[in-house]
């Protein structure tokens, strides 16, 4: 019997989606991964008590947003992402513009909406992230989003927020891990899409613990 292929680490992760064939009321996701979740379980358990305490007080994360010529107001996306992270005790502090060159206090993440996906991006990628970088950044591909919205009208206020929440989770965990269900599932299915429509697509308990554990122990940048 042939051994399965080894898991691969990538410095950039892509968030890809496929246009669903089955109708629900109106959208998606698949991200390449590596590294098994068991490798982080010990870390999450080791700081569980501390993480729970910090969640009550909200852990701040600075998010530097550059939307380029994306027409939708940033507040639409921010509202969804804020809601998802507020449930686990993480407060996102949104800034307009690039990340400062000089590291500041706390955790910082950059998000850029770019006009076109690079030729190296897979065919259905909507965004990518660099969770292993000392200056983590998320790139959102505007051309891919427009194509997706043309095929799925009515979802333009929903998909970008959950795509960003998924990528921010990778960055804040500092991993390319995925879950068997929920927002961090590697490939979303109709249960996830239906949950989006009802504002019920959340992180699993394990993903929540990994985020809080990482924010508790990671060096400030």
3-state secondary structure the chain: CCCCCCCCCCCCEEEECCCCCCCCCCCCEEECCCCCCHHHHHHHHHCHHHHHHHHHHCEEEEEEEECCCCCCCHHHHHHHHHHHHHCCCEEEEEEECCCCCCCCCCEEEEEEEECCCCCCCCCCEEEEECCCCCCCEEEEEHHHHHHHHHHCCCCCCCHHHHHHHHHHHHHHHCCCCCECCCCCECEECHHHHHHHHCCCCCCCHHHHHHHHHHHHHCCCC
Tell me the average pLDDT of the chain: 77
The pTM of the full predicted model, rounded to 2 decimals, is 0.75
pLDDT over 90, % of the chain: 40
Residue 191 lies in a domain: yes
Residue 66 lies in a domain: yes
Q: Residue 57: what pLDDT?
A: 80
Average confidence (pLDDT) over 43-48: 46
Q: Residue 152: what pLDDT?
A: 75
pLDDT tens digit sequence for 84-135: 999 999 999 999 999 998 776 689 999 999 999 999 888 878 898 999 998 9
Q: Residue 176: what pLDDT?
A: 87
Domain encompassing residue 74: 58-214
| pLDDT > 50? residue 218 | yes
Residue 126 lies in a domain: yes
Q: Residue 80: what pLDDT?
A: 93
Residue 207 lies in a domain: yes
Residue 174 lies in a domain: yes
| pLDDT > 90? residue 193 | no
Residue 31 lies in a domain: no
Higher pLDDT, 178 or 220: 178
Residue 204 lies in a domain: yes
Can you give the CATH number for the domain in which 113 is found? 3.40.390.10
| pLDDT > 80? residue 39 | no
Q: Residue 69: what pLDDT?
A: 81
Residue 43 lies in a domain: no
Higher pLDDT, 209 or 157: 209
Q: How many structural domains compose the chain?
A: 1
């Amino acid at each position: 019997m042939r051994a399965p292929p080894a898991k691969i680490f990538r410095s950039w992760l892509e968030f890809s989606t496929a246009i669903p064939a089955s109708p629900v009321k109106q959208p998606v996701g698949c991200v390449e991964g590596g590294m098994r979740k068991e490798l982080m379980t010990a870390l999450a358990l080791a700081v569980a008590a501390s993480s729970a305490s910090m969640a009550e007080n909200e852990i701040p994360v600075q998010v530097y947003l550059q939307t380029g010529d994306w027409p939708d107001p940033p507040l639409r996306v921010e509202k969804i992402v804020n809601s998802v992270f507020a449930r686990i005790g993480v407060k996102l502090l949104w800034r307009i513009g690039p990340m400062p060159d000089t590291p500041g206090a706390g955790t910082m993440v950059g998000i850029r909406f770019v006009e076109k996906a690079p030729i190296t991006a897979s065919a259905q990628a909507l965004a990518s992230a660099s969770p292993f970088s000392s200056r983590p950044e998320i790139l959102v591909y505007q051309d891919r989003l427009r194509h997706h919205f043309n095929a799925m009208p009515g979802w333009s206020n929903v998909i970008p927020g959950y795509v960003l929440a998924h990528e921010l989770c990778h960055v804040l965990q500092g991993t390319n891990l995925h879950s068997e269900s929920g927002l961090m599932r590697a490939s979303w299915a109709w249960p996830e899409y239906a949950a989006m429509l009802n504002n019920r697509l959340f992180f699993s308990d394990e993903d929540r613990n990994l985020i809080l554990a990482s924010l508790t122990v990671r060096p400030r940048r």
